[in-house]
């Protein structure tokens, strides 16, 4: 009898702990996103408040509307800067900053998360021959520039669930296949899921045979 009571409480404790963990992991991304949104809101609110006080307008009346106005202004400035960076003057300023030690390293690290890149610098989600005799691995190409080895290209295979580590391979272009529907963000979701969700689930597409994916060679000819 006593043993049954102990087992009951032990099972109840394990069940309670499991439910608490489930709740914490469900809450974690929501709390993280909420904190980021609040931080952005507070900073934009402070920025717009200071800006309007300079021109004699009191932003305390309807603060949410003033913050929205500030976001629109910020987006407009970012759009103008986005156009500016493509000009020769933008290149000149970037060259000046590139002479500062550490600037290039920081720029490259930030650029890893930039999904707006195009051309040779566009991030591609790719398939390469796996570590086993059969199958493929999903990796990333941060550039379609040719490797030091002719007709080879650099592919990175990230670790999971912490994707800031991994391995780099020089792979023949005819052994690389492009997952055109995927992006850096969807690949990150795939890594963080640790395989609980397949890339097909994340992309909401049907699985395809390897022949249906364009090779890098075919992709570069487009």
Is 213 found in the same domain as 128?
yes
Would you say residue 82 lies in a domain? no
Nearest to 144 by CA among 54, 40, 77, 219: 219
Is 48 within the bounds of a domain?
A: yes
Averaged pLDDT of the chain? 74
pLDDT reported for residue 61: 60
**Exposed/middle/buried for residue 91 (C-beta within 10 Å: 0-12, 13-18, 19+):** exposed
Dihedral sign for Cα atoms in the order 59, 79, 29, 168: negative
Instruction: Cite the beta strand spans of the chain per DSSP E.
Output: 124-129, 136-141, 152-158, 166-172, 177-178
Whether residues 57 and 135 fall in one domain: no
144 with 208, same domain: the answer is: yes
Mean pLDDT value across residues 144-156: 91
In a domain, 99, yes or no: no
Are 67 and 12 in the same domain? Answer: yes
Residue that terminates a domain, selected from 45, 75, 105: 75
Report how far residue 117's alpha carbon sits from residue 115's, in angstroms, rounded to the nearest whole number.
6
Domain count, the chain: 2
Q: Is residue 61 in some structural domain? A: yes
Let me know if residue 81 belongs to a domain. no
pLDDT grade for 106, boundaries at 50, 70 and 90: low
The reported pLDDT for the residue numbered 57 is 55
Q: Which residue, chain included where needed, has tokens 């669930």?
A: 161
pLDDT at 70 over 60: yes
Same domain membership, residue 126 and residue 68: no
Range of the domain at 178: 119-221
Least confident of 50-64, 74-88, 193-207: 50-64
Give the separation between CA 47 and CA 66, rounded to whole angstroms. Answer: 10
Starting at the edge strand that comes first in sequence, how are the strands of the sheet with 136-141 ordered? Answer: 166-172, 152-158, 136-141, 124-129, 177-178
Shared domain for 46 and 124, answered yes or no, is no
37 and 129 co-located in one domain: no
pLDDT score of 129: 82
Dig out the tokens for 9 from the structure. Answer: 């409480």
User: pTM (2 decimals)?
Assistant: 0.54
- Helix 103-111 × helix 88-98 angle, to 10°: 120
Q: Are residues 68 and 124 located together in one domain of the fold?
A: no
DSSP summary character for residue 179: -
In a domain, 206, yes or no: yes
Domain co-membership, 57 together with 137: no
Residue that is last in its domain, among 55, 75, 95: 75
Whether residue 188 is contained in a domain is answered as yes
Same domain, yes or no, for 55 and 123? no
Last residue of a domain, one of 18, 45, 75: 75
pLDDT tens track for 78-96: 677 666 666 666 667 667 7
Q: What is the pLDDT of residues 195-205, one digit of tens each?
A: 888 899 999 99
Report pLDDT digits (tens) over 5-32.
455 445 555 667 666 666 666 666 667 6
Inter-residue contact 203 to 120 (CB < 8 Å): no
- Which pLDDT value is given to residue 135? 83
Establish if 104 belongs to a structural domain.
no
Q: How many helices (H) and strands (E) does the chain have?
A: 7, 5
What is the reported pLDDT for 8?
A: 47
């Amino acid at each position: 009898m006593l043993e049954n009571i102990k087992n009951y409480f032990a099972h109840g404790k394990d069940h309670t702990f499991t439910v608490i963990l489930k709740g914490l992991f469900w809450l974690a991304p929501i709390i993280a996103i909420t904190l980021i949104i609040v931080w952005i809101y507070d900073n934009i609110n402070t920025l717009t408040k200071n800006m309007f006080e300079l021109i004699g307008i009191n932003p305390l009346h309807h603060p949410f509307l003033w913050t929205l106005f500030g976001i629109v202004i910020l987006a407009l400035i970012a759009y103008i800067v986005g156009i500016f960076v493509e000009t020769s003057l933008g290149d000149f300023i970037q060259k000046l900053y590139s002479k500062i030690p550490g600037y290039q390293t920081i720029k490259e690290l930030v650029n890893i998360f930039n999904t707006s890149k195009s051309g040779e610098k566009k991030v591609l989600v790719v398939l390469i021959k796996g570590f086993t005799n059969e199958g493929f691995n999903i990796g990333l190409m941060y550039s379609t520039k040719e490797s030091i080895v002719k007709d080879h290209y650099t592919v990175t295979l990230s670790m999971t669930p912490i994707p800031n580590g991994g391995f780099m391979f020089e792979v023949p272009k005819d052994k690389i296949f492009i997952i055109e529907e995927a992006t850096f963000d969807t690949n990150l979701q795939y890594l963080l899921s640790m395989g609980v969700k397949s890339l097909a689930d994340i992309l909401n597409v049907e699985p395809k045979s390897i022949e249906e994916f364009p090779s890098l060679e075919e992709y570069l000819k487009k």
